Amino acid sequence: MQVARFAVNQYRFPGVEVKGYKRRYYPYNSALTHVIGYVSKINDKDVDRLDKEGKLANYASTHDIGKLGIERYYEDVLHGQTGYEEVEVNNRGRVIRQLKEVPPQAGRDIYLTLDLKLQQYIETLLAGSRAAVVVTDPRTGAILALVSTPSYDPNLFVDGISSKDYSALLNDRTHRWSTEQRRGLSAGVDGQTVRRRLGAERRGDHPQHQPLRPRLVAVAWLRETLS
């Protein structure tokens, strides 16, 4: 309503205009950071890479680009194509006619096989530790959960992280990775093993799954010690 009122009276405020701004937001905070990654402002390194790949023109109307995870790996799929218009103008800069128009193409959606509730549950189990867990369905190879701790809130990086927040991450002992590791691998070949490890619930009542037995998954976990 306020924007509409301003638009009607915009002539009263020369030099002032209202522009829309799209901002990526990650509602699950740290739960999916290591999988989805995040987008952030395009920097000089990104510009050089895009220029070498012949993609720089496709970013003329945006300031963001995928930096990590799915956001980066599938950047070309998610970003889409920027549209443009070629016009003929006179010596006063006024448009005489349109020569060419290429409409923009929206990016495509990507669907993951992750079980969000399972992902969040494992994250609560690993809270305060340095570990990683991968849960897959051996029948299909689908990844149901991929958790790595410690994690961080990707929303901090979308508009450019502040020096204060960045220093806090660097100085947080739980975020320092060590070269000393203890590794363990466990394959949950029956439901009971997985239930003890992850407290997984039954999926037989889910419409997309046949009522076979308790969740049948393969579990791999990695725990690292603090140096």
Q: What is the CATH number of the domain that holds 53?
A: 3.90.1310.10
Going by C-alpha positions, the residue among 36, 221, 37 that lies closest to residue 132 is 221
Query: What does the pLDDT look like over 51-61, one tens digit per residue?
Result: 999 999 888 87
Q: How many domains does the chain have?
A: 2
Q: What is the pLDDT of residue 222?
A: 52
Q: Looking at the domain assignment, is residue 190 inside a domain?
A: yes
Q: Which residue has the higher pLDDT, 200 or 115?
A: 115
Range of the domain at 91: 23-102
Q: Looking at the domain assignment, is residue 194 inside a domain?
A: yes
Q: What is the pLDDT of residue 1?
A: 64
Q: Looking at the domain assignment, is residue 166 inside a domain?
A: yes
Residue with tokens 């299909």: 140
Last-in-domain residue among 55, 70, 102: 102
Query: What does the pLDDT look like over 121-130, one tens digit per residue?
Result: 999 998 888 8
- 4: tokens are 């509409």
Averaged pLDDT, 31-60: 91
